[in-house]
């Protein structure tokens, strides 16, 4: 309705579209966090492999920092900071790969860990997706500030190499 009534152009239109996109990404982050919370309740009493969550805790810290930094960049319209968040997502992806391998090892070591580790794998993937939404917001910030879009291929690191993710 705002678009039809006020007919925003250039910066105003980018601002409107950007806010809508950021709201959508934040809604998805909330959905992912809710899923993690539900799984935490299910596995809370089952935690017999506490070392399995060390990597997840680190992933959570990185994802939280990415999200905080990108929201600060959004509020301040800080293109440089947004680009830094976009580039730092590879660290979270690498942690996700590491956690995946660790959890797979725990499952192979003791089949009683399979159920717990399966829940933790979903938590890990959800945290990684939160990082992806932070990069989406970073792309939106760059668009808001410059009117230009970021490259479609995001940096992605796997096994000490850098690849692109489509």
pTM: 0.84
DSSP states of 130-145 as a string?
HHHHHHHHHHHHHHHH
Q: How far apart (Å, rounded) are the C-alpha atoms in residues 48 and 32?
A: 24
Q: Which residues contact 39 (CB under 8 A, 6 or more apart)?
A: 119, 120, 122, 123
> pLDDT digit string (tens) for 123-165?
999 999 999 999 999 999 999 999 888 777 766 654 444 444 4
CATH number (3.90.550.10, 3.40.30.10, 3.40.640.10, 1.20.58.220) of 7-146 reads 1.20.58.220
> pLDDT digit string (tens) for 10-54?
667 888 889 999 999 999 999 999 999 999 888 877 666 667 788
Retrieve residue 26's tokens: 């934040």
Contact at 8 Å (CB) between 164 and 154?
yes
């Amino acid at each position: 309705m705002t678009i039809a009534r006020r007919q925003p152009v250039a910066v105003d239109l980018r601002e409107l579209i950007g806010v809508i996109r950021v709201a959508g990404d934040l809604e998805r982050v909330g959905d992912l966090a809710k899923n993690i919370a539900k799984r935490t309740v299910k596995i809370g009493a089952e935690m017999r492999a506490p070392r399995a969550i060390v990597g997840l805790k680190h992933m959570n810290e990185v994802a939280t920092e990415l999200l905080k930094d990108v929201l600060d960049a959004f509020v301040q319209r800080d293109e440089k900071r947004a680009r830094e968040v976009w580039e730092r997502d590879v660290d979270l992806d690498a942690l996700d790969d590491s956690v995946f391998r660790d959890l797979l090892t725990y499952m192979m070591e003791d089949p009683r860990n399979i159920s717990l580790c399966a829940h933790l794998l979903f938590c890990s993937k959800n945290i990684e997706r939160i990082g992806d939404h932070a990069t989406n917001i970073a792309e939106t910030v760059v668009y808001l500030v410059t009117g230009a879009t970021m490259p479609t291929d995001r940096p992605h690191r796997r096994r000490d190499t850098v690849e692109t993710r489509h």
